[in-house]
Structures are given as structure tokens and as C-alpha cells.
Amino acid sequence: MLAVHEFVRLVPGRNAVAAVRAPSHPRRRRRAQFPARYGALALLRHGLSGREWPRAWPDQPLRKRYDAVIIGGGVHGLAAAYYLAVNHGITDVAVLDKGYIGSGGSGRNTAILRSNYLTPEGVRFYDRSMRLYRTLAADLDYNVMFSRRGHLTLAHNDSSLRTMRWRAEVNQMQGIDSEVIDPAEIKRLVPYLDTSADTRYPILGALYHPPGGIIRHDAVVWGYARAAAARGAHIHQETEVTGIDVRDGRVQGIRTKKGDIATPVVLNATAGWSTLVAAMAGVRLPIQTFPLQAAVTEPVRPFLHAVVVSGTLHVYVSQTDRGELVFGASVDPFASYSTRGTLEFAEGLATHVIELMPGLSKVRLLRQWSGLCDMTPDFSPIMGGTPVEGFYVDVGWGTYGFKAGPVSGEAMARCIADGRAPEIIEAFGLGRFGAGELVGEKGAAAVGH
């Protein structure tokens, strides 16, 4: 097994994809073949006729060979399949998921979008994702319910206020709308917040990021799946990968519970299981996996327009269009693959939420859940090639993977097509850990960890 320190920089071009250079099928941009469209007229026609909608994408037989196989049917894997087809004409692609699509991190996050990061590399990267998200409904011909809300990261002490100012400077240098605001302005934006001075952690200011917002996360997954499938990608659910065959330092194929597939290209786009999948190819990743819990309340009348985050209180909250309050916290304190909710989390969450917004004391929790977060040492992802030719990774997404889905899919598709990491993800290569060139984003993670 190759350890991270055994290589420092991938040689550009070494990971080029033979299959993509000499595809088994002619490379051409396929027109989208949607089984149905969901415009106003189609909705009306279907409503009146009472007919069944056709399935949004067909089940396909598992082929014995694909030009590329993507492991992980979440937003990252499906977006990669979509951009491979749309931007590079590579359509002989399978996306495999051991469960159903979106059943991992993509269906378990709190759907917050923002780009107010701390490093120039991070800000540029997440800003590209925000831009793609803004036009995604039109691009995919699917309503993903993007809702621009404004995003507030509260500072409860001098050191976090200093970090907010630092982030605001970096953000503005990159052209991102982001500034530090005072408690009076915070109160104007979120009247229900307790901004008084006599709380346990008084609010001293906030980083305000007007473009931030929320989106319907499962719609994003379905939209990418439908659009990728309409251009030829095969989506295989309940198809667990059990092995990756590597010979002479090159990927040869993969084994699944439903049969073997020959392929020269494998993209590991899993969250939670990324180290286990990478180990199948003999690649070690500097990642530890922790559960992250979240919860949703019963619906209440709309009162909270902005997304509010408090690192000190380990909590973030937004209100959906249906009126539910969606809450999250920091990751559980122990590495684990458990996806169970705990009473301890619900109690801690309630305490902190009521400190922030005392008026919520009577609102009832509806349900809670947990997802798996692959944490890297610097709180940035790991993207690009690996020491195994043809084996690519898009992993290490910690608590920030969903917002990066579109840009990651776009960048990984380019990486696979060109055989080298595009500029926008160069800083996130696996080799940075050996080279000591970390991209420290801990200060911009949503909540204290």
C-alpha cells in the first residue's frame, strides 16, 4: 500500500486516461434524451390526464466494460458524470452506489451554500460552485429550489471577530460579497436572535455573506442523475463495490456485488467510505471519519430569512420554504461510522438554540439523523490523481461537501478528460500532505470542531 508521504507531486499527465484518449465509443456530445420534462404545460397535461410519469432515468444492465466508473452516487459522483458528458463528450460512464442515490452525505447535510472561506484557494473554488448552483435549475432543466438568504457567522469573542475580519478581507480580495457587521445590523436581519449583552456568549459581530443560501439537496441529486442519464451515463443503485483491480500501477477494473467491470478509470467520490474504497486500490488517505448529526423541527410560520451559524455554540440554523427549522452541530467527538442520532446531541442542540433564539423554546423537534464526515488534517478536500494510474479521488469533504458538488464534478470531469488536475483544484492534491503545503480552512468551517 502506498502511503501519502511516498509521493509528493503527481507527474502531470501520468494519470491520463487511456480510455478517454482512445474511447471505445466515438467521443461526441450526446443530446439530452429526457423521458419527461416538467414545464408548466407538461404538469397541467399530466394533471388532467391522470397518467403515470415515466421514470426520470431508466434502469440499465450492468455492462462488462465502461470508459469510466464513478463510485458514489451522491452529488459529487453524479455531477462528475454529467460534466464528463456535457463538457467532454465522455458518456460511456457508470455511476455506482451501494445504496440509493443521495443516500450518503448528499441526503444528510443541511443544504447550506456559501463561499466565504478563509484561503484564496478555498474562496475561488467555492465561489465557482455558487456560480454553478445559481444557474443549475436552468442547466439541468430541473427545479433545485436555490434560495438566496444571506449567511451570518456570529462572533462571540474577540478572536472569532478577528477571524471574521480576516475572512472578509480575503473574500473581498476575491470579489466575494462578505463583510463584518455589528449587533444592531444583525438584529435588523434576524430580529429573533438574542443580541443583548447579558447572555452567556454575547454576540459581538458577524461575518455577513449576502449570496449565501440554501437549496433542496435531493432535487440537486435527482437533477444531476436525470441529466447525466439523459446523456448516456448508467446509474446503478444497490451495486456495492467489493474490490478494485490494479496491475503494474494501473487500474484494470472493479468488482461489485453484481459483477465485475473492466475500466481504465475509477473515480472515488464517496463520503464516509472514502478511505475503505481507496484502500481497495492500495492508496492510503489522511482521513478520519466522524458522524455529524442534524435535526429538523415541525414547520412554523416563516420568521428566519438568513442562515445563522454560531461556532462558539456549535450550531447552525436555517428555515426551509415549508417552515421547518433545520439545525446542525459540529461533528461527534469520536471517529465512528455510526449514523444513529443521540439524545445527547438533541439536548445539547436545544440548549444552544434557545440561547441564541429564546423564542424557540416551545418548538418541537420532528426528526434527527446523522451523516459521515471524512475529515482531513487541514479541513480541505483531497482531489485529483493518485499514485495509481487511472484511480482518482474526490474525497475528504468533512462538513462542507454538498456546497462543493457542482465545482467538484466539473473539475474532476476535466481532470479525468485531461489526465491532470485543473488549476482550480491544484492546491487540493493528495501530494500536499507529503509536501507540507496544507490549505488550512479550519477557521472557515461552519462550526467549531
Residues that bind ligand PYC (CB under 6 A): 110, 112, 114, 316, 328, 399-400, 446
82, β-bridge pairs: none
Nearest residue (CB) to ligand PYC, 102 versus 253: 102
- CA-nearest of 221, 173, 142, 188 to 306 is 188
CB of 110 to ligand PYC, least distance (A): 5
Nearest residue (CB) to ligand PYC, 15 versus 293: 293
Nearest residue (CB) to ligand PYC, 154 versus 413: 154
Residue at shortest CB range from ligand PYC? 446
* Rounded Cα–Cα distance for residues 140 and 375 (Å): 30
* Rounded Cα–Cα distance for residues 385 and 395 (Å): 11
CB of 271 to ligand PYC, least distance (A): 13
Nearest residue (CB) to ligand PYC, 239 versus 330: 330
Q: Is 50 exposed, middle or buried (0-12, 13-18, 19+ CB in 10 A)?
A: exposed
CB of 12 to ligand PYC, least distance (A): 31
210, β-bridge pairs: none
Nearest residue (CB) to ligand PYC, 71 versus 383: 383
| Cβ contact 16:419 at 8 Å | yes
CB of 112 to ligand PYC, least distance (A): 4
CB of 240 to ligand PYC, least distance (A): 27
Nearest residue (CB) to ligand PYC, 109 versus 239: 109
| Cβ contact 289:397 at 8 Å | no
CB of 306 to ligand PYC, least distance (A): 13
- Please give the full DSSP string across 37-51, using - where no structure is assigned: ---HHHHHHHHHH-P
CB of 313 to ligand PYC, least distance (A): 14
Residue in this structure with the C-alpha cell 460552485, named with its chain if needed? 129
* Rounded Cα–Cα distance for residues 14 and 386 (Å): 10
340-347 contacts, C-beta under 8 A, 24 or more apart = 340/291, 340/370, 341/293, 341/295, 341/368, 341/369, 341/370, 342/293, 345/293, 345/295, 346/295
* Rounded Cα–Cα distance for residues 277 and 248 (Å): 19
* Rounded Cα–Cα distance for residues 176 and 332 (Å): 31
C-alpha dist (Å) from residue 433 to 5, 284, 317, 376: 7, 12, 33, 10
Nearest residue (CB) to ligand PYC, 434 versus 448: 448
- Helices 405-418 and 217-229 cross at an angle (nearest 10°) of 30
Nearest residue (CB) to ligand PYC, 107 versus 253: 107
C-alpha cell at 96: 455506482
CB of 330 to ligand PYC, least distance (A): 9
Nearest residue (CB) to ligand PYC, 82 versus 400: 400
Nearest residue (CB) to ligand PYC, 129 versus 195: 129
CB of 316 to ligand PYC, least distance (A): 5
Gyration radius of the chain's alpha carbons: 22
CB of 338 to ligand PYC, least distance (A): 18
Gap between the terminal Cα atoms of the chain: 30
- CA-nearest of 30, 212, 12, 239 to 112 is 212
